[in-house]
Chains A and B, each alone.
Chain A
Amino acid sequence: MSDDVNGLNESIQYVTVVIGGQLFGLPIERVHDVFVPESITRVPLSRPEIAGVLNLRGRIVTAIDMRRRLHLPPRQDGGTAMAVGIESKGESYGLLIDNVGEVLDLPTAGREPNPVNLDARWAAISGGVHRLNGQLMVILDVDRVLGGMAEAIAA
Chain B
Amino acid sequence: MDDLLREFLTETNESLDVVDVELVKFEQDPNNEKILGNIFRLVHTIKGTCGFLGLPRLEAIAHAAETLMGKFRDGVPVTEAAVTLVLQSIDRIKQLVADLEATEQEPSGSDEDLISQLEHMAEAGKVPEPVAEVPKHTEGALIYQVLERQLRPGEVSLDELERAFRETAAEPTATAEPAAAEPAPAAAPPARAAKAAASKVEAKEKEGDGEAKAGGVAAQTIRVAVDTLEHLMTMVSELVLTRNQLLEIVRRHEDSEFKVPLQRLSNVTAELQEGVMKTRMQPIGNAWQKLPRIVRDLSAELGKQIELEMIGQETELDRQVLELIKDPLTHMVRNSADHGLEGPDQRKAAGKSERGTIRLSAYHEGGHIIIEIADDGRGLDMEKIRQKIVDNGLASEFELEKMSEAQIYKYVFAPGFSTAAKVTNVSGRGVGMDVVKTNIDAIGGTVDLKSVPGKGTTFTIKIPLTLAIVSTLIVESAGDRFAIPQLSVVELVRAQQNSEHRIERIRDTPVLRLRNKLLPLVHLSKLLDITTIGGEAKEPVSEEDGFIVVMQVGQQTFGVVVDAVFHTEEIVVKPMSTMLRHINMFSGNTILGDGSVIMIVDPNGIAQAIGPSQSAGTTEEVDHEEERARDTAQMVSLLLFRAGSHEPKAVPLSLVTRLEEFSVDKVERSNGRDLVQYRGSLMPLVYFDEYAQRKTEGSLPMLVFSDAGRSMGLVVDEIIDIVEDRLDIEVGSERAGMLGSAVVKGKATEVVDIGHFLPQAFEDWFRRKEISSEALTRSLLFVDDAPFFRNMLGPVLKAAGYQVTVCASAPEALDMLEHGRRFDVIVSDIEMPEMNGFEFAEAVKRHPRLRQIPILALSSMCTPASIERGRQSGFDDYIAKFDRPGLIAALKEVTTHELGVAA
Interface residues of A (CB under 8 A from B): 39, 41-47, 50, 52-55, 57-60, 62, 89, 91, 93, 146, 149-150, 153
A45–B596 alpha-carbon span in the complex (Å): 19
Q: Is B277 an interface residue (CB 8 A)?
A: no
Q: Which of B450-494 contact A (CB under 8 A)?
A: 480-481
Contacts of B237 in A (CB 8 A): 58
Contacts of A52 in B (CB 8 A): 597
Q: Min CB distance, A89 to chain B, in Å?
A: 7
| Beta-carbon contact of A150 and B596 below 8 Å | no
| Beta-carbon contact of B529 and A53 below 8 Å | no
| Beta-carbon contact of A41 and B599 below 8 Å | yes
Q: Is B241 an interface residue (CB 8 A)?
A: yes
| Beta-carbon contact of B241 and A58 below 8 Å | yes
| Beta-carbon contact of A60 and B529 below 8 Å | no
3 tightest A-B CB contacts, nearest first:
A58-B238, A44-B528, A62-B577
With A41-B480, A55-B596, A55-B597 as contacts: A46 and B579 at CB distance below 8 Å = yes
Q: Which of B122-153 contact A (CB under 8 A)?
A: none
Contacts of A53 in B (CB 8 A): 577, 580, 589, 597, 599
A53–B579 alpha-carbon span in the complex (Å): 11
In the complex, given contacts A42-B480, A44-B599, A53-B577, what are 5 additional A-B residue pairs having Cβ atoms less than 8 angstroms apart?
A39-B595, A41-B598, A43-B580, A57-B238, A60-B590
Contacts of B529 in A (CB 8 A): 44-45
| Beta-carbon contact of A50 and B596 below 8 Å | no
Q: Min CB distance, B235 to chain A, in Å?
A: 7
Which residue of A has the minimal Cβ distance to B574? A60
Contacts of A41 in B (CB 8 A): 480-481, 589, 596-599
| Beta-carbon contact of A44 and B234 below 8 Å | no
Which residue of B has the minimal Cβ distance to A46? B580
Q: Min CB distance, A39 to chain B, in Å?
A: 5
Q: Min CB distance, A150 to chain B, in Å?
A: 6
| Beta-carbon contact of B579 and A47 below 8 Å | yes
Q: Is B591 an interface residue (CB 8 A)?
A: yes
Q: Is B50 an interface residue (CB 8 A)?
A: no
Q: Which of B204-243 contact A (CB under 8 A)?
A: 234-235, 237-238, 241
| Beta-carbon contact of B597 and A91 below 8 Å | no
| Beta-carbon contact of B579 and A62 below 8 Å | yes
Contacts of B585 in A (CB 8 A): 44-45
Q: Min CB distance, A35 to chain B, in Å?
A: 14
| Beta-carbon contact of A43 and B596 below 8 Å | no
CB < 8 Å A-B pair total: 73
| Beta-carbon contact of A45 and B583 below 8 Å | yes
Q: Min CB distance, A37 to chain B, in Å?
A: 11
Q: Most A CB atoms within 10 A — which of B481, B574, B599?
A: B599
Q: Most A CB atoms within 10 A — which of B241, B585, B590, B597?
A: B597
Q: Which of B234, B480, B582, B596 contacts A59 (CB 8 A)?
A: B234
| Beta-carbon contact of B578 and A91 below 8 Å | yes
Q: Which of A45, A46, A58, A93 contacts B591 (CB 8 A)?
A: A58
A57–B580 alpha-carbon span in the complex (Å): 20
Interface size class on chain B is 20 to 34
Q: Is B530 an interface residue (CB 8 A)?
A: yes
Q: Which of B530, B583, B597 contacts A60 (CB 8 A)?
A: B597
Which residue of A has the minimal Cβ distance to B524? A44
Contacts of A42 in B (CB 8 A): 480, 530
| Beta-carbon contact of A60 and B589 below 8 Å | yes
Q: Which of A54, A58, A59, A153 contacts B579 (CB 8 A)?
A: A153
Which residue of A has the minimal Cβ distance to B598? A41
| Beta-carbon contact of B234 and A43 below 8 Å | no
Contacts of A57 in B (CB 8 A): 238
A3–B596 alpha-carbon span in the complex (Å): 41
| Beta-carbon contact of B580 and A62 below 8 Å | yes
Contacts of B589 in A (CB 8 A): 41, 53, 60
Q: Min CB distance, B193 to chain A, in Å?
A: 57
Per-residue A-contact encoding for B551-589, CB less than 8 Å = 1, 0 else: 000000000000000000000001001111011011001
Q: Which of A44, A54, A55, A153 contacts B582 (CB 8 A)?
A: A153
Q: Min CB distance, A97 to chain B, in Å?
A: 18
Which residue of B has the minimal Cβ distance to A53? B597
A153–B595 alpha-carbon span in the complex (Å): 29
| Beta-carbon contact of A149 and B579 below 8 Å | yes
Which residue of A has the minimal Cβ distance to B238? A58
A62–B597 alpha-carbon span in the complex (Å): 10
With A43-B599, A45-B528 as contacts: A150 and B574 at CB distance below 8 Å = no
Contacts of B577 in A (CB 8 A): 53, 60, 62, 91, 93
Q: Which of B157-179 contact A (CB under 8 A)?
A: none
| Beta-carbon contact of A39 and B596 below 8 Å | yes
Q: Most A CB atoms within 10 A — which of B235, B579, B582?
A: B579
| Beta-carbon contact of B234 and A150 below 8 Å | no
A150–B597 alpha-carbon span in the complex (Å): 22
| Beta-carbon contact of A150 and B579 below 8 Å | yes
Q: Min CB distance, B23 to chain A, in Å?
A: 41
Which residue of B has the minimal Cβ distance to A64? B579
Which residue of A has the minimal Cβ distance to B605? A45
Which residue of A has the minimal Cβ distance to B599? A43
| Beta-carbon contact of A150 and B591 below 8 Å | no
Q: Min CB distance, B601 to chain A, in Å?
A: 10
A34–B596 alpha-carbon span in the complex (Å): 19
A44–B528 alpha-carbon span in the complex (Å): 6
A-B contact pairs, 16 of them (CB 8 A): A41-B599, A43-B583, A43-B599, A44-B529, A44-B599, A45-B529, A53-B577, A53-B599, A55-B241, A55-B595, A58-B237, A60-B577, A62-B577, A62-B579, A146-B579, A153-B582
Q: Min CB distance, B226 to chain A, in Å?
A: 14
Q: Min CB distance, B585 to chain A, in Å?
A: 6
Q: Most A CB atoms within 10 A — which of B234, B589, B590?
A: B589
Q: Which of A39, A50, A59 contacts B580 (CB 8 A)?
A: A50
Which residue of B has the minimal Cβ distance to A58? B238
A45–B576 alpha-carbon span in the complex (Å): 14
Q: Min CB distance, A78 to chain B, in Å?
A: 13
A62–B578 alpha-carbon span in the complex (Å): 10
Q: Min CB distance, B561 to chain A, in Å?
A: 15
| Beta-carbon contact of B234 and A58 below 8 Å | yes
Per-residue A-contact encoding for B258-275, CB less than 8 Å = 1, 0 else: 000000000000000000
Q: Most A CB atoms within 10 A — which of B241, B530, B577, B583?
A: B577
Contacts of A43 in B (CB 8 A): 580, 583, 586, 599
A45–B238 alpha-carbon span in the complex (Å): 28
A50–B581 alpha-carbon span in the complex (Å): 13
Contacts of B238 in A (CB 8 A): 57-58
A17–B480 alpha-carbon span in the complex (Å): 31
Contacts of B591 in A (CB 8 A): 55, 58, 60
Contacts of B582 in A (CB 8 A): 153
With A43-B580, A45-B583 as contacts: A54 and B235 at CB distance below 8 Å = no
Q: Min CB distance, A144 to chain B, in Å?
A: 14
Q: Min CB distance, B576 to chain A, in Å?
A: 8
Q: Most B CB atoms within 10 A — which of A41, A44, A153?
A: A44
Contacts of A45 in B (CB 8 A): 528-529, 583, 585
Which residue of A has the minimal Cβ distance to B588? A60
Q: Min CB distance, A137 to chain B, in Å?
A: 27
Q: Which of B493-546 contact A (CB under 8 A)?
A: 528-530
Which residue of B has the minimal Cβ distance to A74? B535
A53–B596 alpha-carbon span in the complex (Å): 9
A45–B480 alpha-carbon span in the complex (Å): 13
Contacts of B598 in A (CB 8 A): 41
A153–B582 alpha-carbon span in the complex (Å): 7
